[in-house]
Amino acid sequence: MKFDYDLFVIGGGSGGVRAARIAASEYGARVGLAEESRMGGTCVIRGCVPKKLMIFASQAGAAAAESRGYGWQGAGEGRFDWAEFHGKLGRELDRLEGAYTSGLVNAGVEVHMQRARLHDAHTVELADGQRLSAKHILIAVGGRPQRPDIPGKELGLISDDLFTLGQLPGRVLVVGGGFIACEFATILQGLGSATVLAYRGDAVLRGFDGEMRRHVTEQLRAIGVDVRLGTNPARLDREGAGVRVSFEDDSSEIFDAVMFATGRAPYTKGLGLEEAGVRLGRKGEIAVDEWSQSSVPSIFAVGDVTDRVNLTPVAIREGHSFADTVFGARPRKVDHRLVASAVYTRPHELATIGLTEEEAEAWGPADIFVASFRPMRSLFAGSDARAVMKLVVDAETDKVLGCHIFGPEAGEMIQMVAVPMGMGATKADFDAAIAVHPTLAEELVTMRKPARRVGAANMDKPAASA
């Protein structure tokens, strides 16, 4: 049977664009791609990229304060101009979107800027009614922010809205305690909004190392975010120009804006997946095997829509591996076990890879090495902010199983730690590296004695230590 395309990709985000580009340019496949919104997807348009630029903007005030500690008189006495920043941000996103589109076009991909849905196992239907056939279809539509199911939820903003605000709220409530809540609380506070973070748990960032979670919670408070633990909104009501938030403990308060950062869900609704026989999981995610293949052999899926590890570089790797496997005859699976990530908070970032202390304790025995100190740079400027670095080491094999860093440029450091850890490095390998002095990262290779040993002997080692 003759198809219109060898591959049709639904979704022009990180995973879909990479798969389309590699299939077309490296392997000569005839590729079509549909995107209903803007090319670049969540990461480029309403996620990682604009978020990081907003983090830089929010850090600038703290940097000015630090420079005063170094003798620069009057630094930071101006005010932040949201309109100017926002206009510049918009132009940068336009530039990036253009680069994504031209990358695809130059690779020979036919781009359709409209919504597409599945018609059957080999056919997609575009919003204008056109039907296009393809030997393979890749779903890479990502996820969407979720609001909690409470009365008045539509009065709350989601992360997408933060990039298009006309003005910054004077007083804002951020709901949630995950990546997005912590990062946006940091941004909003840093740009001048009085920020309250309400989280239902007992320390932000569930799933991260416990000691680090407690430290990030404290440090968010130290920069001025009003972190309220064990707190959750029960309803929202419009009151004047603001929003009255009634909490589960019956208290209530008015905010200029409320932002829900209460998780994201796969964007699978209305795509015609179930009708085409594609099996979905409990959260609506597309169930795929290790080759990103769905229950329908011609249909594959990569990125957040599969709800595996919801990070841009993972989606990119999945998209690339899919193209190599299906079009390049180079079968490649993605190893999801040892993925580093970073949360861009202030005063420092939190970056992490591998097992937490709690996970190690469950499998043990593991030695926990910890360095906690005030970095020279901020200390001199008069800040009490502490950096914490932690290595989780298999007490039997000496293998480094986990690394957690709360410190300046922690994201940059963890990227490099990922290399030796991926190679199975031991603590002795770390120690063999001669320190670069004076740096923060030297702490990672100069931790002499464990702070404690956790966990009992257990023959079933966790996947990360395999």
| Cα dihedral sign, 294-296-298-299 | negative
By CB under 6 A, residue 342 contacts ligand NDP? yes
Nearer to ligand NDP, 25 or 146 (CB): 146
- The residue from 232, 246, 295, 415 that contacts ligand NDP (CB under 6 A) is 232
By CB under 6 A, residue 332 contacts ligand NDP? no
Nearer to ligand NDP, 175 or 388 (CB): 175
By CB under 6 A, residue 158 contacts ligand NDP? no
Nearer to ligand NDP, 172 or 342 (CB): 342
| Cα dihedral sign, 100-105-108-110 | positive
Residue count at the site for ligand NDP (CB under 6 A)? 24
Give 425: exposed, middle or buried? Use CB within 10 Å, 0-12, 13-18, 19+: middle
Nearer to ligand NDP, 124 or 181 (CB): 181
Residue for token digits 């840093």? Answer: 190
By CB under 6 A, residue 206 contacts ligand NDP? yes
Q: How near is the Cβ of 5 to ligand NDP at its closest, in Å?
A: 31
Nearer to ligand NDP, 93 or 180 (CB): 180
3-class DSSP assignment, residue 135: strand
- Distance of CA 75 to CAs 142, 190, 348, 449, Å? 42, 16, 21, 42
Q: How near is the Cβ of 72 to ligand NDP at its closest, in Å?
A: 31
| Residues facing 194 on adjacent strands | 171
Judging by DSSP bridges, how do beta strands 366-373 and 387-394 pair with one another? antiparallel
Nearer to ligand NDP, 117 or 308 (CB): 308
Q: How far apart are CA 331 and CA 322, in angstroms?
A: 8
Nearer to ligand NDP, 264 or 317 (CB): 264
Cis peptide before 266 (omega within 30 of 0): no
- The residue from 59, 246, 341, 446 that contacts ligand NDP (CB under 6 A) is 341
Over its C-alpha atoms, the chain yields an Rg (Å, rounded) of: 24
Lay out the site mask for ligand NDP across 57-96 (x = CB under 6 A, - = otherwise).
----------------------------------------
By CB under 6 A, residue 352 contacts ligand NDP? no
- The residue from 264, 399, 404, 427 that contacts ligand NDP (CB under 6 A) is 264
Q: How far apart are CA 199 and CA 420, in angstroms?
A: 35
What tokens does 354 get? Answer: 């591998």
Task: Compute how many other C-beta atoms are within 10 angstroms of the C-beta atom of residue 11.
Answer: 32
* 437 belongs to the catalytic site: yes
Question: Residue with the closest Cβ to ligand NDP?
Answer: 178
By CB under 6 A, residue 246 contacts ligand NDP? no
Segment contacting ligand NDP (CB under 6 A): 18-26, 129-137, 170-178, 243-251?
170-178
Per DSSP (E only), the strands in 299-416 are: 299-301, 341-343, 349-354, 366-373, 387-394, 400-407
Catalytic residue among 122, 320, 348, 437: 437
Q: Return the ∠ at Cα 249 (arms to 246 and 252), rounded to 5°.
A: 30
By CB under 6 A, residue 427 contacts ligand NDP? no
Candidates 438, 395, 396, 447; CA nearest to 417 is 447
- The residue from 343, 391, 395, 403 that contacts ligand NDP (CB under 6 A) is 343
Contacts to ligand NDP from residues 97-156, by CB under 6 A: 148
222-253 burial, b at 16+ Cβ within 10 Å, e below that, comes to ebebebeeebbbbebeeeeebbbbbbeeeeee
Lay out the site mask for ligand NDP across 295-324 (x = CB under 6 A, - = otherwise).
---------------xx-------------
Instruction: List residues binding ligand NDP (CB under 6 A).
Output: 148, 175-181, 183, 199-201, 206, 232, 261-264, 310-311, 341-344
Active-site annotation, residues: 437
